[in-house]
Chain A
Amino acid sequence: MSLIDVRHLRVRFDTERGPLQALEHVSFRIERGEMLALVGESGSGKSVCAQALLSLLPRGRAVVETGEVWFEGRNLLTLSERELRAVRGARIALVPQDPGAALHPLFTIGEQIVEALRLHQELSREEARELAAAALVEVGVPAARERLDAYPHELSGGLRQRALIAMAIAPRPQLLLADEPTTALDVTVQAQIMELLAELRRTRELGVLFITHDLGLVANYADRVAVMYAGALVESGPTREVFRAPAHPYTLGLLASAASLGQRADARLESIAGMPPDPLNLPPGCAFAARCAFAQEACARARPPFLPPMGLRQALERGVELNLAAERRVACFESERVVSRAGADS
């Protein structure tokens, strides 16, 4: 059984300017000890996805329309607030995105990590402080003990980010939702954090949802990758397969732009021509069609289903059974052409 199994998650925000479909039928699984990378442009819904798993979306504004999140035999979306609290932090921890805003400015780093520990374990203040210092050492914070008494504004962005990671792993969760945990770090520290996560995956069987822009890190560390565009997954599969033969034009574009930038650590994903669609009024068909070099007329009319690559056409033309258990999936009518084009290129 998977560590976490997310099925058909749909999330809508009710904004002043109308409903905003932030997640559209998002499904994925993470096994014990596995790292799933979630990549996509800013605003594509990655953070919303991570927050939705723990029901952390702003109440009243965000509506989870459909979906199940199976974790340790329970659907997290049906738990009571009280049951959820026992899961949050203790079983599933979140490393929030923006380290500048995610730490409470009025409490010291130590106080915040100690709180995370003492919420779930019977610990004295001193014991918790010890553990907090140990966690800071683990994520490579120099002079960890003094840092415990520092306020967030006294630390650099990189240190804050590491404090957030320390805060998440200190209570020894089983699943880590890491939302862009390495953006503020320099390359050596990045590698150190990734190695730490790799070790935790081995020793504690920690599962990781790794949200990032850095395709280099994905290639080196993630077991599988899922690509998100405008709130929907457009492609997923084992990292090696997806990187070797991307089946969605968006993935293709991402990889091409990352390659042309020489795999720079901060390779931005925005360099595909055109702008993402306005999330407030998504087009009826494929959301990527307007920027897509492969787009046909049909793409603008209907949303392509998320299926094994080439599965749909085969199913239609040859009457072949769809392999719905396949790990590799893509949401594109033209995936066959994309794959062959990509193959020709390389």
Chain B
Amino acid sequence: MRVKIKINDKDQFIETDPGEMLLETLRKLDYKGVKHACSTASCGACSVQLDGKPVLSCTTFTAAVDGHEVKTIEGFSDENSLSDVQKALIDEGGSQCGFCIPGLVVTTEALLSENPDPTQQEVIDYLKGNLCRCTGYESQTRAILKAAKERRSK
């Protein structure tokens, strides 16, 4: 079946199987920043924004997204340069192997557009579905609070 999805501000017409998941579709289209890990809605590595809200692409049917807007990690950095959130994650030691980072950044962007001045607890609550096996979360939380503060001061 044929679907139309706006991906990172660009309309795309895509041939897809009726049972295909958005994660698979995006990776086939070369959005490789969207990571494939648990496939059971449990880790957050495959997070993308659907109409501005973070969802899990591993358990979203591509057919259900027809006519909607998807934003992947590739849509958050300008011209191959890192975004402020990505820079803060590196500066604070919030990225080690890096596998969880695309999903984390996409979810963080949604948090900061809903709530530009989150408390530490609000960051923890919002991101509890983005698991990281390396960092222990302290440095990631610190980085997000720092990026939020810098964004507010601009």
Chain B binds chain A: no
Identify the B interface with A (CB < 8 A).
none
Where the two chains meet, the residues of A that have a C-beta atom closer than 8 Å to any C-beta of B are none
